[in-house]
Structure 1
Amino acid sequence: MADDSAGPVAGCYVCDKHRGLRHAMPGGPLWADELTVVTHIDPRDTAVDDVYLGHLLVEPRRHAPGLADLTADEARHVGQWASHAARALREEAGAEHVYAAVIGDGVPHLHLHLMPRYPGTPREYWWDRVNEWPDGPHGGVAEAAELVARLRSVTP
């Protein structure tokens, strides 16, 4: 069972992001509540100048390394926000499918990746290569912030 008293962990990328100790997220959080934050992946945190547009992260506010560490309430909120974000990607961004993955090898604070597959994506780029599609929508901070504003218009 998760430790409900665990506060932010110093040096944790996600904890620092939620506390405002890192640069502002493109467009700010899409949605947030007392337990969960949904954001767009930030181009400034990658080795390239742009990111796959629509690549969202659903994160618990409390430092929880993995799915098994979530409380029942956190798990419910993560699931509800993931469902809402996937619906927004479909309705507002035109995704035909949304992939979800928890990897957790690089950052030990749970972050659920949501990655849309847009119409016309060749089959060889489906699933874990969807963001490598050269003709897929990619952009920098401004483009990610613009998409965030559009997605945010889809109310929970």
Structure 2
Amino acid sequence: MTVIDCYSCNREAELDQLPPRELISYDEQWRVVHATGSALLGWLILTPRRHVMEMAELSDAESADLGIWQARLARALTEELRVSKVYVAEFGEAPGFHLHFHVVPRPRDLAVERRGPGIFGLLGRQDDDQVSADDRDQLALRLRTRLST
């Protein structure tokens, strides 16, 4: 048996202990979390609940649910944050990564240079611009309510 050192899988193993920001919503195949190190409130990550590294490895059921999740998350973010657009992206270039999709709200007043791929400049932050865990938890609970209806 191969042991996988995967952050997403390790968090999945602790599902019942996760804070709201790491368990916004989930079903049998997908889990929604708020990104860490983001300067943008509402930067969500949609990740398969089983270890998958490439989109081609998704089952038909996972693939079908993927589109539904992406649309539901885009609607929830648009309604909750009153954003003008929601981006969805998947790159997966890091070795050994767990497949995941970025679902990113674009605020109406976002600077032009931060639009499109430039929005990734708001991720990977280790400074004071990072959205607090408390703010991510509060948003997670509001989104959880929206997604449950």
Which bracket does the TM-score occupy, shorter chain normalised? 0.7 to 0.9
1:149 to 141, 145, 149: 141
Aligned length: 140
Within 5 Å, give how 1:117-128 maps onto structure 2: 117-128=106-117
The answer as to whether partners of 2:20 and 2:141 remain within 8 angstroms in 1 is no
Structure 1 unaligned spans of 5+: 1-6, 44-49
Structure richer in helix, relative to its length: 2
The answer as to whether partners of 1:9 and 1:63 remain within 8 angstroms in 2 is no
Residue 10 of structure 2 corresponds to 16
Q: Distance in 2 between matches of 1:127 and 1:76?
A: 26
**CA RMSD, Structure 1 to Structure 2 (Å):** 2.5
Q: Distance in 2 between matches of 1:53 and 1:9?
A: 34
Q: Distance in 2 between matches of 1:128 and 1:62?
A: 28
Q: 3-state SS of the aligned residue for 1:99?
A: strand
Identity across aligned pairs (percent)? Answer: 31
Q: Distance in 1 between matches of 2:111 and 2:3?
A: 41
Residue 83 of structure 2 corresponds to 95
Q: Distance in 2 between matches of 1:132 and 1:94?
A: 21
Structure 2 unaligned spans of 5+: 123-128
TM-score by structure 2 length? Answer: 0.82
TM-score by structure 1 length? Answer: 0.78
Which deviates more, 106-115 or 79-88?
106-115
Q: Structure 2 vs 1, CA of residues 35 and 88 (structure 1 numbering), >3 Å: closer, same or farther?
A: same
2:50 to 62, 65, 82: 62
Report 1 or 2 for greater relative contact order, CA contacts < 8 Å, sequence distance ≥ 6: 2
